[in-house]
Amino acid sequence: MKSFDCFALDTANQCLWCNGVQIALAPKPFAVLRFLVDNPGRLITHDELLDALWPETYVQPQVLRTYMLELRKVLGDDPGQPRFIQTLPKRGYCFVAPVAERSAMDRGRPSPASAKDVKAAEIVGRANELVRLHAQFEIAQSGKRQVVFVCGEAGIGKTALVDAFCRQLDSAQAATLAHGQCVQGICGNEEFYPVIEALGQLCASPQREAACRILSRIAPAWLAHGREPEVAAASPAPPNSRQRLVGDLCAALEELAAEQPLLLVFEDLHWADDSTLNLISALARRHAPARLMVLATLRSRKSSAAHPLKELKQDLLMRRLCAEIVLAPLPKSAVTQLLSRELGQPDLPPELAAFVYRRSEGNPLFVIAVLEHLIAQHILVRKDAAPLAAWQQAAPLAQFPELDDSVPDQLAQMIELEIERLSPEQQHMLEAGSLMHVAFPAWAVAAALELDAADTEEACDELARKLYFVERAGQDELPGGACSAFYVFAHGLYREVLYRRQPATRRAKRHIRIAQQLGQLFAGREASVAREIAMHYEAAGQPQRGKFRAS
């Protein structure tokens, strides 16, 4: 087996490994990579590579470029600054990374240093966050327990970051890993739901013998959650809430971590039951040394001020018993890198990166959804017959003005699910807010729905505390000295879905009410808001009324 950097080329099984994770490669790209790895550090001409892979068969040299693009995508290699495959124009290629022999038993097992490297093929734009996670884990390895919350809006990449971190730890065999998934609607009714899932994984892991032995001795009431048949048969009945002693489980987990560092991952903690939160609180506050790390993902601004999770996180942060990593949207450079990785080509069509960045606002899930939408609409097409097979735009994006108002189906469905979980009154308020812009004032919502302004502002505040995609942004000063709070949607796509889900007639009535309220608020000063008034009348299908106001 040949290894380079964090990769291992398994010639026996015809596959590639990266940090212990198998990467699928088609036969021909694998053959190209194998020939390059077998001949490192020297020029391999186009003819030599073609003769080796297609003997006695004429193949156009351009086919090599397609395979090189695919390999660079898999390896996360930048052709401008190659770490693996260097292109020598009009001559051929050179594999520039050092290559070493490795036994099959060591495949995917990097050195401690390479385990911390961030590969573009794994995750884009989160190098600093990944380094922080490794720093927290090193503290846990020293015996000082750690609790880390990874926060961010939906689709921002919380799970991708945690998965990349876990793969690196697992490939280096640096820790025992156990995951628990919190599920909306289930965790509220079943105590310790994600904890039970994590225990099941521990009792089925390579460390199952130690896990079952320690649980049997220290926390026998929890042992029945092992998924191994022989474990369940030898265990008492599943414990009820009174039998589940949190202290016993904490002690058992700490002893298990003494044999090898233990990483407990809880996904979507905003859906967790109170019992699970109590366990995390106990693990964070216990004073005994423990090589234990709890890593939890949660949505920002999902819980109200009085929600147990928010109270727990704030208290632990204040006492310096936890760390928080808040994921921000990707910068434009990272969005460009992500697009290059997804398309498998270093050079992107003109305008593509700028357009996707503007529509996605740096949210990785939205980046992929917008890209897939462009492909589905045949605006981005694959030109396989071109000298350099690549994705290209069918026409300049300016020729598709409808793209500025379209929402990819996948995202529209996701956003609709979030909206439909709200009460009808809350849905109407968000719809009314969408009649303005990405930012909307409470007075406009009240005007559109014919509600009391003060009550509406209180209701908008409650929505901002509850929802991750709406937040309070400040206050507007109105004529006469009155003030009105204003709010923003976390992403313009949420606003567009809310706007379009309203029947046209209802939407028109609400626009007219907002326009009329603008006229009343700015009576005698209509010229200062004439443009806004005209916009609402035009959206309501009565542009002549807006022109009259503007004149």
Question: What's the 3-state SS for 406-427?
Answer: CCCHHHHHHHHHHHHCCCHHHH
Q: What does the pLDDT look like over 489-527, one tens digit per residue?
A: 888 888 999 999 999 999 999 999 999 998 888 888 878
Higher per-residue confidence, 313 vs 244: 313
Long-range contacts of 464-470 (CB under 8 A, 24+ apart): 464/301, 465/301, 465/303, 465/304, 465/305, 466/302, 466/303, 466/304, 467/301, 467/302, 467/418, 468/153, 468/154, 468/299, 468/300, 468/301, 468/302, 469/153, 469/154, 469/418, 469/494, 470/430, 470/433, 470/494
Question: Residue 237: its pLDDT value, please?
Answer: 43
d(CA 38, CA 1): 11
d(CA 275, CA 240): 12
pTM for the model: 0.67
440 closest CA partner among 489, 395, 398, 482:
489
Question: Residue 408: its pLDDT value, please?
Answer: 85
* 486, amino acid identity: F
Residue 289 has pLDDT above 90, yes or no: yes
d(CA 14, CA 297): 36
Q: What are phi and psi of 103, to 5 degrees?
A: -75, 155
CATH number for the domain running over 126-326: 3.40.50.300
d(CA 214, CA 31): 48
CATH class of 2-106: mainly alpha
CB 487 within 8 A of CB 442: yes
What's the farthest any 2 CA atoms get from each other in the chain? Answer: 87
Three-state SS at 324: strand
Question: Residue 244: its pLDDT value, please?
Answer: 55
Q: What are phi and psi of 519, to 5 degrees?
A: -65, -40
288 closest CA partner among 254, 260, 247:
254
Q: Is 200 exposed, middle or buried (0-12, 13-18, 19+ CB in 10 A)?
A: middle
> Averaged over 424-447, what is the pLDDT?
92
- The fraction of the chain above a pLDDT of 70, given in percent, is 85
Three-state SS at 158: helix
Predicted confidence band of residue 225 (pLDDT cuts 50, 70, 90): low
Predicted confidence band of residue 19 (pLDDT cuts 50, 70, 90): confident
CB 276 within 8 A of CB 187: yes
Predicted confidence band of residue 383 (pLDDT cuts 50, 70, 90): confident
Q: Which residues pair with 486 in a beta bridge?
A: 441, 474
CB 72 within 8 A of CB 346: yes
Question: Residue 268: its pLDDT value, please?
Answer: 93
Which ranges of 286-420 does DSSP label H, i.e. alpha helix?
Answer: 308-318, 332-343, 352-360, 364-376, 409-420
351: left (phi over 0), alpha (psi -120 to 50) or beta: left
Higher per-residue confidence, 120 vs 18: 18
Question: Residue 122: its pLDDT value, please?
Answer: 63
Predicted confidence band of residue 188 (pLDDT cuts 50, 70, 90): low
CATH number for the domain running over 410-550: 1.10.10.10
Which ranges of 363-503 does DSSP label H, i.e. alpha helix?
Answer: 364-376, 409-420, 424-434, 442-449, 453-466, 492-500
Residue 17 has pLDDT above 70, yes or no: yes
Q: What does the pLDDT look like over 91-118, one tens digit per residue?
A: 889 998 888 876 543 443 333 334 444 3
* 142, amino acid identity: S
Question: Residue 105: its pLDDT value, please?
Answer: 39
Match 């740096």 to its residue by tokens: 362
105 closest CA partner among 26, 173, 174:
173
Question: Burial code of 10-22, b = ≥16 C-beta within 10 A, e = fewer?
Answer: beeeeebbbbbbe
CB 29 within 8 A of CB 46: no
Question: Residue 446: its pLDDT value, please?
Answer: 95
Question: Residue 476: its pLDDT value, please?
Answer: 79
CB 390 within 8 A of CB 520: no
Neighbours of 247 (CB within 10 A): 12
Question: Residue 242: its pLDDT value, please?
Answer: 41
Question: Residue 448: its pLDDT value, please?
Answer: 95
Residue 300 has pLDDT above 60, yes or no: yes
Question: Residue 102: its pLDDT value, please?
Answer: 62
Residue 1 has pLDDT above 90, yes or no: no
d(CA 272, CA 249): 18
Higher per-residue confidence, 175 vs 51: 175
d(CA 441, CA 443): 5
d(CA 88, CA 220): 65
Indicate the average pLDDT of the chain.
83
In angstroms, the first-to-last Cα distance of the chain is 79
d(CA 130, CA 268): 19
E strands within 119-240? Answer: 146-152, 176-181
